[in-house]
A = this chain, B = another copy of it.
Amino acid sequence: MIFSIDRDVLLNQLLIIQKGLPSKTPLPILFAIKFEVHEDYMLLTSSNTDVAIQVMIDDHSLSIKESGNVAIPGRYLIEIMRKITSQRVEFALIEDKLIVIKADRSEFKLRLMDVEDYPEIDFLDLDDPIVLDSQLIKTIIKETNFATATSEKRPILTGVNFKYHDNHLYCVATDSYRLSQKNVKLRTHSKMFDIVIPNKSLDELNKILDGINDDVELYINPNKVLFKMNKVLFQTRLLEGTYPDTLRIIPTEFPVVIPFNKEELLAAVERVSLLSPRDRETNYNIIKLSLRQDKVVEISSTNNEVGDANEEIIPSSDVIGPMIRIAFSSRYLVEALKSFSSSEVLIQFAGEVKPFVIKGNLDQDLLHLILPVRID
């Protein structure tokens, strides 16, 4: 196996492949990146228990003298490529288990792992994909993934539920204290599906999509989903189990509706949180929001040891409904607000002990819901 390639080209692909390397694994061969060097292109593969990634490199800077397959220790290879500054690098297999990497006056000899030990990765090979714009996938991840559960108490909640029927994609995430829901109308047509993608896989996919502007094809079977990009395959396992029916917990009647400038609200909430006490259950800071008779909103916190914080906010336009007073974890509101592209948000209250809903003026298909806590 002998090839040479532009260093930047290879490094960029390795940085994608890196997201499939395990941090620890009972199967040490997975610490390697599998190189399959063909006559005029090569495939790089990485995998762990959650995801498998494959990139195809057929860049014009790639010059292949001899094909072959090898398994190169992943982290060492990536560190070396990061530190190399020369324009080109050359790879040559010199012994059964030794590869030489040359770059200008640098020479690295890396001990290979046994490529025969590398497990066969079963990338889905199906028809009829759902086609999504890469930016749309990024937006969905940004708007929902933060609301998934981090604790494994209910594993199904550590993923985002993607449900498709009648040309609509419904995406929901909840940790049972708050919920994010994004609905998207699709132009393409597909079979129904209802899957839950692990939040960590979505984080990795999100980073990979940063460099990608094309359409993405989704292929789904009961156990996994494949995101197929032009030269990158990203496949992740799905979470097992039935996702809870969240629609019924979203209130439909809102006696109080308050419009806010998003940045102003966010800044006030962050300041008030500095002094707020923590919720026993979630360990997040509890703050209070109240709509006064004079239609000014007060956000406040009281910490017996440290002191009080109080912010007044003038709603950004007309308020609907009577006085209300509600307490909740500030972090949920901060994260929800940050996920909006909108500059104006609307908070809709169903009552002092009922979940409240946040919407944005420019994010019509997005909804965040937060459960209040009881005020002592």
Contacts and interface: CB of A to CB of B under 8 A. Distances in A.
Interface residues of A, number: 30
Contact of A307 (B108, B271, B312): B108
Interface stretch (A80-88, A200-208, A233-241, A353-361): A80-88
Interface string A69-111: 0000100100110011100000000000010000001111111
Contacts of A308: 108-109
B310 A110 contact: no
B271 A105 contact: no
Contacts of A184: none
Nearest to A111: B307
A136 interface: no
Given A267-B83, A271-B83, A271-B84, A110 B307 contact: yes
A89 to B, nearest CB: 12
Nearest to A97: B307
A376 interface: no
A106 B306 contact: no
A297 B213 CA distance: 46
A229 to B, nearest CB: 30
Contacts of A108: 271, 275, 307-310
A270 interface: yes
A311 interface: yes
A312 B86 CA distance: 14
Contacts of A350: none
Interface of A: 73, 76, 79-80, 83-85, 98, 105-111, 267-268, 270-271, 274-275, 305-313
When A and B form their complex, which 4 residue pairs have the shortest distance between CB atoms, in order from nearest?
Answer: A105-B312, A110-B307, A109-B308, A107-B310
